Structure 1
Amino acid sequence: MSGSRAPALVTLGESMGLITAVETGPLEFARSFSYGIGGAESNVAIGVARLGHAATWIGRVGRDATGDMIERRLLGEQVRALVVRDDGFTGLMVKHRRFGTALSVDYHRAGSAGSRISRADLPPGCIEEAAILHVTGITPALSDSASDTVFHAVERARAGGVTVSVDVNYRAKLWPAAVARPVLLRLVAQADLVFAGVAEACLLLDAVDRPPIDELARAVSALGPHQVVIKDAERGCAALVDGSAYRLPALPVSVVDPVGAGDAFVAGYIAEHLAGKPAAQRLHTATAAGAFAVSVPGDCEGLPRRADLNTLIAYEDVAR
């Protein structure tokens, strides 16, 4: 266990080692690699911490160098890490750019330490003391015990009056849509706040044709959550928050690495939610955080701090 701050955000899931080929081209010809960490939930925890709020991440890592690195990185980011060391290996992601901006990500995580998370890993009070519990649709796909842990955490949060945030985060490489959909629907129905991409919203709604983004937000809201944010990459986002609709364009930036942009967006929104900011400000910060993330290689390296956001606001004012 690392850190001692009382958490405002609690999240749980799998964090992995991230191997990234530096050169563009077939992976077999790559000779230079960087090594970092990745994982949707730990990315969000880091993003929220960088924006000035206490954050806790719960998960399992192996008794290996990658597990050591993950715990140290979280500690260095001022994230309170409730880490269980497991005899299994710490999972890995391998990322390379085949051509242009086309990224490919392979997972090596079946049977990993992170996939063996269980409800026993959630200490008494760790959920109940939070302001927001954030979970994703990735963790239930990892194993039966991981799925059970997510729903147990959500149940405890709801019983304790804690806001439940869900990022649908469907990963086709982890489970087929027909298996994922009923699980994701159950998760969304218990959420207060839901983030989804356009394709993910269509999956939830079993929509063959893509409806307008504002209609998607209304339809997902009808499933239960009173805050729904639909992320539409470079086209911006739409939201329905307590019955009020919002639209916001994406910021025009050069995309270096799109992986992790959705997590940055979520972190920005949650950080402003914790700060008591109105929905429009939450979305503005979320959009800015996503823009920072895509401009830097890596899963979490580009997550902004408050000073970065202030610099961007000043730049936008000048541009106008």
Structure 2
Amino acid sequence: MTISSHPAALLGIGDNVVDFYLDRNEFFPGGNALNVAVLAKQFGLTDTGYIGIIGNDAEGNHVLNCLAEEKVWSGRVRQAYGENGKAIVHLDDKGDRVFLRSNKGGIQKRLGLRLEEADLEAVERFGHVHSSLFSNLEHELPKIRDRAKSVSFDFSWRHEMDYVKSIAPFITTAFFSGSALDDAGIDDLIETVAGLGVSTIGVTRGSDGAFWMANGKRYRQGIKPTTVIDTLGAGDSFIAGYISSVLMGNSVEEALDQAATFAAKTCTIFGAFGHPYKVAG
């Protein structure tokens, strides 16, 4: 696959897992950095890529095969001896995921990703990089920011300001989960992070939709009605849809609307982007 320097390109760096559904006896590829790369491709970006560490077990091989099937560049993926990251999940009667346990990131967490010059050249060629709290990549963010046009980072549930302040100088967009916050708490979070120099801040709160600030202007985006089968990956779909739409040149309002539609579609399938692997027995 040819990597383009066109602005509408995205590189996910960091975490990947498989989500094992106990009630279905099958696992699906996932992880925020990997999901955003794949989902951005499905949204319509011409060029997306993923860099991370996968295991040499059946789960890791499945992740690698899925990247190939989705035509996501994986030329700098490391496959190492050990088990891939894995989370055990259960779906409740509303289709909401319940995480039961995990192997704490598997081989990727144990080895830790260190970026080499070839990785940084890929950062330059793609232009936009997305990573996350779960990627254990904080030490590499200065190098990434030095070579990328823009960088987004998913903080998920982690809101403590000491941590956010350590990341903020190296990113242009911050995403948070606001499920534990009321409206005032979300407003305070957005204003505080904007004060750290981050130009775009997004906070999602489940059925209450998304709270947004971009270049000093505030936005709200509601959810789209859909038949919910599985909510796993909906947040990552929203992130991927928003980033992709903006990279394609759309306005913030258009990007938020398209992201909500894209996230609703993800709720109609199992897994973040499909590709089930049935476990024998």
| TM tier, smaller | 0.7 to 0.9
Asked if structure 2 preserves the Cα contact closer than 8 Å seen for 1:166 and 1:188, the reply is no
Partner of residue 278, structure 2:
none
Which stretch has the larger CA shift, 90-99 or 54-63? 90-99
Matched, 1:244 2:244: no
Percent identity over the alignment is 23
1:203-218, aligned counterparts within 5 Å?
211=184, 213-218=186-191
Asked if structure 2 preserves the Cα contact closer than 8 Å seen for 1:137 and 1:170, the reply is no
1:60 aligned to 48, 53, 57, which one?
53
1:220-231, aligned counterparts within 5 Å?
220-231=193-204
Matched, 1:114 2:108: yes
State the TM-score, normalizing by the size of structure 2.
Answer: 0.85
CA distance in 2, matches of 1:35, 1:157: 31
Matched, 1:132 2:128: yes
State the TM-score, normalizing by the size of structure 1.
Answer: 0.76
Unaligned runs of 5+ in 2: 276-281
Partner of residue 159, structure 1:
146
Amino acid paired to 1:5? I
Asked if structure 2 preserves the Cα contact closer than 8 Å seen for 1:138 and 1:170, the reply is no
CA distance in 1, matches of 2:121, 2:97: 40
Asked if structure 1 preserves the Cα contact closer than 8 Å seen for 2:33 and 2:135, the reply is no
1:8-87, aligned counterparts within 5 Å?
8-22=9-23, 32-53=24-45, 54-81=47-74, 82-87=76-81
Aligned-residue offset at 1:19: 1.4
Q: 1:205-239 CA distances to partner (integer Å, 9 max, x unpaired)?
A: xxxx7516445423321222111111121111121
Q: 1:232–1:10: structure 2 CA closer, same or farther, 3 Å change rule?
A: same
Task: Say what the alpha-carbon RMSD is for the aligned residues.
Answer: 2.4
Aligned-residue offset at 1:69: 0.8
SS of equivalent to 1:80: coil
Asked if structure 2 preserves the Cα contact closer than 8 Å seen for 1:137 and 1:184, the reply is no
1:182 aligned to 149, 162, 176, which one?
162
Aligned-residue offset at 1:95: 1.1
Q: 1:77–1:159: structure 2 CA closer, same or farther, 3 Å change rule?
A: same
Larger Rg belongs to:
1
Asked if structure 2 preserves the Cα contact closer than 8 Å seen for 1:59 and 1:117, the reply is no
Unaligned runs of 5+ in 1: 23-31, 141-146, 172-176, 203-208, 303-320
Using CA pairs under 8 Å that are at least 6 residues apart, name the structure with larger relative contact order, 1 or 2: 2
Amino acid paired to 2:265? F
Amino acid paired to 2:12? T
CA distance in 2, matches of 1:191, 1:231: 18
Asked if structure 2 preserves the Cα contact closer than 8 Å seen for 1:9 and 1:131, the reply is yes
